[in-house]
Structure 1
Amino acid sequence: MLLEFKVRNFASLRDEQSLTFFADRHREGRSEFAVPEQKKPALAVAGVFGANAAGKSNVIRALAWMRNAVLYSFSHWPPVPSDGRPGVPRDPFLFRQDARDDSTECSVEFIFKGRRYFYGFECDDERILYEALYEYASAKPRFIFRREGADDFHFGRSFEGPRKTSTQMVRPNSLFLSAAAAQNHPMLREVYSWFATTLQVATDNNYAERLDTTLQWYLDSDERHRRFVDILLRAADLNISGIEREEDADDAVWAEAVQRLRKAFESINTEEGFVFREALAPSISAWHETDDGAFKLQLGQESSGSVTWISMLGPLVHTLASGGVLCADELDARLHPIMVELVIRLFQDPRVNSQGAQLLFNSHAHYLLGRYPEHGLHRDQIWFAEKDHRSGASTLYPLTDFEGRNDQNVELRYFGGRFGGLPFIDESAVERLSREIQRGVHGPATD
């Protein structure tokens, strides 16, 4: 489970921003999880709301970038920067004169296999400046390793496994955790696994990867896995009774070419994934049952809402069935409000969410802030992002920073400007646009 994420100097998140999954108090009827050495439970759901360009997506992008740094910095980042290209492909806050001079920091506190960890690092364009891993074996954390600069390593008494081999392999611009996992380090491979298998990100960029996950679950030989996907596929009222992959003689060659392209892009791109709709969609079909029989449509012939729901099912089922964290960028994009609420309800319901699954999402969907929504979001699960238009920097803050009761209509107060996070519309723009249009119709106006 994810307990806290902090980031500084990533995209519009100039100053340190923090998002936590700690509940303010226990509430009956919603999914909550015990945290070692902590009285407050962990939440299953947290949502970030705000205007366009307020920085909502940058929170999930930053977490995805941190994940990619752990997974790929050793294997994909270039060993020696060349042609002015940064050794660390980061995305710092650019709206200032010294944009490239300031470092980027990010850290996570999480639970994996019953153990509570803190891991974080700091970097600039060329190298890793600091990296550390701690474990909460008691109320006070004890350090497992700490790295200061390129090759100054310190190891705690709880560090288990080889040291010399991994430290010799690590480059100035790769994380020690990434390098040690590549060497199959017995202790650090476990921590690496949290990023690799437990933390999932759903954005428009990794559509193909998500779609492939759905197919793996649906076509798995385990009948139980297929039923999971089938239940949610039919719940959406899309008139789709099943999905399948159509293969021909060229599919294997084409799939291999797509994978090579993916790896090539991963080595030069810091984003979470890449769009390969054209490569995969034609080989996938959905079955529809009508009064005249069963008919098959290629995925490209389906509505964007149907395709979005199908591609979400894999990560959704995987997270709920196995536990973990699903980070969904713009959860409400191309999905009906009832379907968005269904996703949140699945994580909120203790009967469904018995494996410690969590959902972090951002959204423009103000209806999720209503007084009596089906999903049952509480005040400690609602966050806002707001951008200072003078500096371009985003701020992230929770609804619990404001006084109020849980039964109040948050949606109404939000639109009243009580919590910020609203777009500012220049009403004079309508009048100015009207004058410009009239000039085009009637010729230049005379003063």
Structure 2
Amino acid sequence: MLIAFSIKNWKSFRDEVSFTVEASKERNHSGTVSKFNKFGLNLLPVTGIFGPNASGKSNFVKTLSFLQNLIVDPGRNFMSSEPDGFRLDPATKSEPTEFAVDLMLQNGIYSYAILFSQKKILEEKLSFQHTRTEKILFERKGERLTIGEPLKKDVSEDAIKFLTPFLLKNYPALNLLGAANIGKVVSVFNWFSNSLKIIRSDSPFISRLETEETSVEERLYGLGTGICSIKALPFSRPLSQNVERLAQSISEDSSMVIMDPQEGAIRISNTSSAGIKAEKLFALHKNCRGEEELFSFTDESAGTKRLFNLINTLDKSNSSGDPFTFVIDDIDRSLHTKLTSSLIYQFIDGCDELSRKQLIFTANDVQLIDEDLLRRDEFWICDRAFDGSTTLYPVTDFKGLGAKRDLQRSYLQGRFGGLPNLTASCTILNESYLYD
């Protein structure tokens, strides 16, 4: 599980911001909190980030996505030719960027940090804590890699020499050692490659998680889409270049669903016996006579397609014991408030102190700021400062919140910040209409 994530000098994040899912002393919904008694850690299963447009919410998700891609697939060269730092301040524009992640995985706490500038990784460090003593697994300065005591039996001097050319090409040491299944490093690498699932607002509709179709059908129907079932038919036409590229990335004996703008939902499967197979998914509705009608997903609403994507994701998390961490940008996009809150509630309903799954989302829908849905420490505010930089802080930073205070009302009244900074000419709604 993710414990904490910090960002410094990346896109709209100029000053260091630190995000954490450690639970406070809040008692509301205490039965959903994941407990790690050995480490004295209580971690929240859900965290929502709210704030105005252009405040940096999507940049937060993009940051995690960039780090994931850099670690899992460095060969694609995700380093930018443009400055990565905060561009609205000449002093920071070309300064290094720093990310740090704390993870609770299996048998201990892992801390990973990386410092890089334009096209060059400068520093990298991974440490592990099983008891009160922190042990360094590896440290990197430029292309020089130093192996910590716990890994010295697994990584020889000859191996380090072999890795040096890849370090010069900006391959993270976490990738090189993790992909080679070296000691405890592989646990962190696997979290980035397998357990971290990110759905960005600008990503194509892709579900890499396989869910039982009957479960998806039942939930789509129960959420008022009118879809009775989903039917797959062979797809014989040539795949688009984008779909073909994604199909080539499917590992053997797995599948994914891709939403193609022209064709609709295409399921691509890769089996050892048949190789790559494509099927087109149709939504089955019933007409006024009770007869079946097939609809391409191109004919379905944006909200239905969004639900199909999220249900595949969140259903997998509820039916599996695997410790997935889902990060969803604009979870409320194209969805009615009640649908969004229902998805979040159903995720939480499968959480208890032994659960090891997480949902981190960004949203604009203030109706989701509801203490019947989430705990107070599960609400974070993303805001844009006067200089254009992003700030990120939890609602619990604000003192004097009484037991009966309405958080949604307090947010709309500006108590927590994170509201659109409208000019007088754009302010068309009277404050009394908004708040009373």
TM bin, normalised by shorter chain, reads 0.7 to 0.9
Where 1:246 maps in the other structure, the secondary structure is strand
The residue correspondences of 1:102-117 to structure 2 (distance < 5 A) are 102-117=95-110
- Deviation of the 1:114 alpha carbon: 3.7
Supply the distance in 1 between the matched residues of 2:425 and 2:76 (Cα, whole angstroms).
Answer: 50
CA contact (8 A) 1:24 1:40 kept: no
2:245 equivalent in structure 1 = 260
Q: Give the secondary-structure state (helix, strand or coil) at the position aligned to 2:220.
A: helix
1:313 counterpart SS class: helix
**Greater percentage in strand:** 2
Query: Which position in structure 1 is the counterpart of 2:191?
Result: 194
| 2:137 counterpart (140, 144, 151) | 144
Q: 1:232 aligns with which of 206, 215, 219?
A: 219
Q: Which residue of 2 aligns with 1:72?
A: 73
Q: Structure 2 vs 1, CA of residues 248 and 330 (structure 1 numbering), >3 Å: closer, same or farther?
A: closer
Alpha-carbon distance between aligned partners in 1 of 2:102 and 2:87, rounded to the nearest angstrom? 27
Q: Are the aligned partners of 2:381 and 2:418 in contact in 1 as well (CA < 8 Å)?
A: yes
Unaligned residue ranges in structure 1 (runs of 5+): 219-225, 265-273, 432-447
Does structure 1 residue 360 correspond to structure 2 residue 360? yes
Alignment check: 8 A CA contact 1:327 1:360 kept: yes
1:134 pairs with 2:127:
yes
Higher helix share: 1
1:322-366 deviations in Å (ceiling 9; x for gaps): 331111101111011111111221232256896421110111111
What residue is the counterpart of 2:162 in the other structure? 168
Q: Structure 2: how far apart are the matches of 1:4 and 1:103?
A: 21
Q: Pick which of 237-246 and 410-419 moved more.
A: 237-246
Q: Give the secondary structure class of the aligned counterpart of 1:340.
A: helix
Q: How do residues 49-128 of structure 1 correspond to structure 2 at under 5 angstroms?
A: 49-73=50-74, 75-77=75-77, 86=81, 91-128=84-121
Residue 261 of structure 2: aligned partner: 277
Equivalent pairs counted in the alignment come to: 398
The verdict on how the C-alpha distance between 1:26 and 1:415 changes in structure 2, with shifts beyond 3 A counting, is closer
The answer to whether the 8 A contact 2:48-2:361 is kept is yes
SS at match of 2:71: helix
Q: Which residue type is aligned with residue 295 of structure 1? A: E
> Separation in 2 of the partners of 1:427 and 1:312?
38
Q: 1:279: Cα distance to partner?
A: 5.7
Alignment TM-score, normalising by the size of structure 1: 0.81
Alpha-carbon distance in structure 2 between the residues aligned to 1:113 and 1:419? 36
Q: Is residue 8 from structure 1 mapped to residue 8 from structure 2 by the alignment?
A: yes
Name which of 373, 395, 398 aligns with 1:399.
395
Per-residue CA deviation, residues 172-191 of structure 1 (Å, 9 max, x unaligned), is: 31201112234444543332
SS of the equivalent of 1:254 reads coil
- Structure-2 residue corresponding to 1:308: 306
Q: Aligned Cα RMSD in Å?
A: 2.8
Percent identity of equivalent pairs: 23
2:43 corresponding residue in structure 1:
42
Contact 1:379–1:406 (Cα < 8 Å) also in 2: no
- SS in structure 1 at match of 2:224: coil
Q: Distance in 2 between matches of 1:157 and 1:113?
A: 17
Distance 1:263 1:121, change over 3 A: farther
How far apart, CA to CA, are the structure 1 residues paired with 2:409 and 2:8? 32
Deviates more, 1:405-414 or 1:91-100: 91-100
Residue 71 of structure 1 aligns with an amino acid whose one-letter code is: V
Structure 1 residues 329 and 184: CA distance shift in structure 2, 3 A: same
Which residues of 2 match residues 201-350 of structure 1 at below 5 A? Answer: 201-210=198-207, 213=209, 216-218=210-212, 226-250=213-237, 254=239, 258-260=243-245, 276-278=260-262, 281=265, 283-290=280-287, 291-320=289-318, 321=320, 322-350=322-350
Specify whether residues 94 and 276 from structure 1 end up closer, same or farther in structure 2 by C-alpha distance, changes over 3 A only.
farther
**Alignment partner of 1:178 is 2:172:** no
Runs of 4 or more, structure 1, over 6 Å off, are: 261-264
Equivalent residue, structure 1, for 2:369: 369
1:436 aligns with none
The answer to whether the 8 A contact 2:35-2:353 is kept is no
Q: Relative to structure 2, which stretch is displaced further, 140-149 or 348-357?
A: 348-357
Residue deviations 1:349-400, cap 9 Å, x none? 2568964211101111111224x54x2x1111111011113x2101001111
The residue that corresponds to 1:445 in the other structure is none
Out of 60-69 and 315-324, give the one that drifted further. Answer: 315-324
CA distance in 2, matches of 1:103, 1:275: 37
What CA deviation, in whole Å up to 9, does each residue of 1:6-28 have, x standing for no partner?
Answer: 11111111111111010002635
What residue number does 2:252 align with?
none
User: CA 1:158–1:217 in structure 2 vs 1: closer, same or farther (change >3 Å)?
Assistant: same
8 Å contact kept, 2:201–2:330: no
Tell me the alpha carbon deviations over residues 293-350 of structure 1, each in whole angstroms, 9 at most, x when there is no partner: 2211000000110011001122212223233111110111101111111122123225
Distance 2:153 2:37 in 1: 22
What whole-Å deviation, never above 9, does each CA across 1:121-158 have from its counterpart, x for those lacking one?
11111211111111111133211111122224242335
Give the partner amino acid of 1:139. Answer: R
Gaps in structure 2 of 5+ consecutive residues:
250-257, 267-279, 429-436
The 3 A distance-change label for structure 1 pair 194 and 334 is same
Aligned 8 A contact 1:32 1:44 in 2? yes
Evaluate the alpha carbon distance shift between residue 275 and residue 303 of structure 1 in structure 2; reply closer, same or farther with a 3 A threshold. Answer: closer
Quick one: structure 1 residues 369 and 304, their matched pair in 2 at CA, closer, same or farther if it must change by over 3 Å? same
- The answer as to whether partners of 2:61 and 2:329 remain within 8 angstroms in 1 is yes
Is the Cα contact below 8 Å between 1:136 and 1:142 reproduced in 2? yes
How far 1:49 sits from its partner (Å)?
A: 0.8
